[in-house]
Chain A
Amino acid sequence: MNNDEIRANLLKRSRASRNERFGKLISGACITIIIAVVVSIFYFVASKGLATFFEDKVNLWKFLTGTIWNPSAKDAQGNPQVGALPMIVGSFSVTFLAAIIATPFAIGAAVFMTEISPRLGKKVLQPVIELLVGIPSVVYGFIGLSVVVPFVRHTFGGSGFGILSGTFVLFVMILPTVTSMTVDALKSVPRAYREASLALGATRWQTIYKVVLRASTSGIITAVVFGMSRAFGEALAVQMVIGNAMLLPQNLISPASTLTSVLTMGMGNSVMGSLSNNALWSLALLLLIMPLIFNILIRWIGKKGAMR
């Protein structure tokens, strides 16, 4: 081999280096596609959802606080009747109520799994929770329809459809998520904390209540907010039991509606580009923004918790 050949061989890309560039390119392309999808979701939903305000000149404040949702008709002043308040109230009430009921159960189960009986927790509760996560949401909706709705009708009166039924269904749906995240939070409390407390003569409950739960507060709140984000976005199960009446809910057992239920019911019945269609996309935009807010909230809680 003369010098030129050696030189050429040294300067040429080796097989490994070509291979490396190929791999980097392929995996980089995959991640680029995902990022493009995220950006286009925001672009498309926002461009449709904002059309209500820019093209149809609906007042944003009136949209958020109006109580009458009838986009195909106009009111006495000729303004379109797109008041989203009934749906917003409906969504937030089922979300908060479900979170309020689910939190004690989730914390209780998580404490049981980490502090009282880790063996039973791992052998029994862990699989139970994983199975609960696996049940599809339409099945929850169907059970809500055939069990929860009649139960609410017999116990509290009314038609049985309404916020209360939605709350019960969402409670069961978010319980496993909140529980498993709370378990992670409790597990991250250092063992020395518990030992120090027990060494001071505290009972197990005192240790749990005064040390473990206090030390993991931010993690538990994160779990609850995450569950709320889930509940807020849940569509079909809620839609099946809430009654789908676009009225401001008067009480917990009167038919109501949520952002997701209106979207699933209405999108097929409106013409693309019309005001009633744009108004629905504005609701979708609200649904897109809320997880972002929940996300920021979770991060902020995480930061606060980390500083202590």
Chain B
Amino acid sequence: MTPRKWDKIATFVLYMISIFIIFVLAFLLLYILISGLPNVSWHFITSKSSSFQAGGGIGVQLFNSVYLLVLAMIISVPLSLGAGIWLSEYAPKNWITSLIRNAIEILSSLPSVVVGLFGFLVFSINMKFGFSILSGALALTVFNLPLLTRKVEDSLQAIHYTQREAGYALGLSRWETVIHVVVPAALPGIITGMILGMGRIFGEAAALIYTAGQSSPSLDFSNWNPLYIASPLNPMRSAETLAVHIWKINSEGIIPDATQVSAASSAVLVLFVLLLNFLARYVGNRLYARLTGVKERN
């Protein structure tokens, strides 16, 4: 065996590995879409789920997922922006800052089920929110905050210091410089990170099982007053999301068409997440081109 021959073999093996990974993704996507999409219909997406019989839909679950996503983002976006700005612009270089950074890193490495249990203990039981959308949104915030903060900090750090100096030279305070100069320049990165975070939240189930609950009360879609008990917008009602629904019908398996329903729900879920991924890319590139006049982002 000459080195030249080994080189050929190794190259071949590496090609095979790469093709294998592409094959795995193709298989996963095709499997989900082929087994799921035939079962997706307008009726399926909009109708109520059934607990025992076949033919239930995912309307309520889909609504819950979106509502939880919106609530969680409303709480976590300002928090992560503030925290990211502090870390990037105000943090002094000392041991306290490095401790804070470590704490955030640890928070991001915690398993989502632990975050869910923490939410169950603190939001559902100690704060008496029960199994509710509010508890779920808070748990999702805890789950999402470290990554968003990191993303904001990285995007701000990528802005050249001359931009900040330009701001100071105009007599702006540091805060004004950050808000009017640095954050707008870092916006493409921040928005991309936010949308990717939305995708993560949308598919998350482990953090929600014991916070937002595993059941949905019957909703009255004609009354949108958030204080009304059966209103879809009531944040204190329990809410099963799409991801939790897939998990639940598979592990309990009471309804006879569990496989079809979960295949179809998976297809909807994956399509939604893919959509968010493409949106993140598109919006990020678009904003970048808009703000800088550069066509291609590297």
Contacts and interface: CB of A to CB of B under 8 A. Distances in A.
Interface of A: 16-17, 19-20, 22-24, 26-31, 33-35, 37-41, 44-45, 48, 104-105, 108-109, 111-113, 116, 120, 124-125, 128-132, 134-139, 141-143, 145-147, 172, 175, 179, 202-206, 208-209, 229, 232-236, 239-240, 260, 263-265, 267-268, 272, 281, 284, 287-288, 291-292, 294-295
Contact of B110 (A24, A30, A265, A288): A288
Interface in B82-119: 82-83, 85-87, 89-90, 100, 103-107, 109-115, 117-118
Interface stretch (B40-48, B50-58, B167-175, B217-225): B167-175
A193 to B, nearest CB: 18
Given A128-B21, A206-B7, A111 B14 contact: yes
A130 B277 contact: yes
A27 B83 CA distance: 5
Interface stretch (B157-165, B230-238, B245-253, B284-292): B245-253
B110 A41 contact: yes
15 contacts: A22-B175, A33-B79, A41-B114, A45-B121, A109-B17, A132-B24, A135-B273, A136-B203, A136-B273, A203-B3, A204-B7, A235-B113, A240-B250, A240-B251, A291-B110
Interface string B136-169: 0000001001100100000000000000000000
Contact of A267 (B7, B179, B210): B210
Interface of B: 3-4, 6-7, 9-11, 13-15, 17-18, 20-22, 24-25, 28-29, 31-32, 35, 78-83, 85-87, 89-90, 100, 103-107, 109-115, 117-118, 120-122, 125, 142, 145-146, 149, 171-176, 178-179, 196, 199, 202-206, 209-210, 214, 243-244, 246-247, 250-251, 259, 262-263, 266, 269-270, 273-274, 276-277
A147 B31 contact: yes
A118 to B, nearest CB: 12
Given A116-B14, A294-B109, A142 B199 contact: no
Contact of B114 (A33, A135, A287): A287
A287 B111 contact: yes
Nearest to B22: A128
B273 to A, nearest CB: 5
Main secondary structure of the interface of A (DSSP, over half): helix
Contacts of B35: 146
